[in-house]
Amino acid sequence: MSQPTLAAARRRPPPVRPPLSLASAWHDAGVRAWIYQIVVVAGVIGLGAFLIGNAQDALSKQGISTGFSFLWQTAGFDIGETIVPFSSQDSFLKAYGVAVLNTLKVAAAGIALSTVIGVIVGVGRLSQNLLVRKLASIYVEVFRNTPQLLQLIFWYTLITSLPRPRDALSVGGAAFLSNRGLSMPWFGADFPVFASLAALIAGCAAGWGLLCLSDARRRRMAQFGAAALALGAPLAVILASGASLQISVPRLAGFNFRDGTTISPEFLALLLGLSLYIAAFIAEIVRSGIQSVSRGQVEAAASIGLSRFHTYRKVIFPQALRVMVPPAAGQFVSVVKNSSLGVAVGYPELFSINNTIVTLSGHTVEAIAIMMSIYLGISFVIAMAMNLYNRFVQIRER
Predicted local confidence at residue 395, as pLDDT:
59
Q: What is the 3-state secondary structure (H, E, C) of 176-220?
A: EEECCEEEECEECCCCCHHHHHHHHHHHHHHHHHHHHHCCHHHHH
Predicted local confidence at residue 96, as pLDDT:
92
Predicted local confidence at residue 24, as pLDDT:
63
Predicted local confidence at residue 252, as pLDDT:
78
Which of 157, 268, 361 has the alpha carbon at shortest distance from 353? 361
Percent over 90 (pLDDT), the chain: 25
Among the ranges given (109-123, 141-155, 161-175, 263-277), the one the predictor scored with the smallest mean pLDDT: 161-175
Average pLDDT over residues 355-367: 86
Predicted local confidence at residue 268, as pLDDT:
93
How far apart CA 346 and CA 339 sit, in angstroms, is 12
pLDDT one-digit tens code per residue, 185-241: 877 766 667 777 777 788 777 777 777 766 666 667 777 777 777 777 778 877 777
Q: Pairing relation of β-strands 186-187 and 181-184?
A: unpaired
How far apart CA 208 and CA 233 sit, in angstroms, is 14
CATH topology of domain 92-168+264-393: MetI-like fold (1.10.3720)
Q: Number of C-alpha atoms within 13 angstroms, CB side, residue 198? A: 5
Domain borders along the chain are: 92-168+264-393
Average pLDDT over residues 121-150: 91
Stated pTM of the model: 0.78
pLDDT one-digit tens code per residue, 267-320: 999 999 999 999 999 999 999 888 888 888 777 887 888 777 788 777 888 888
Contact 286, 199 (CB under 8 A): no
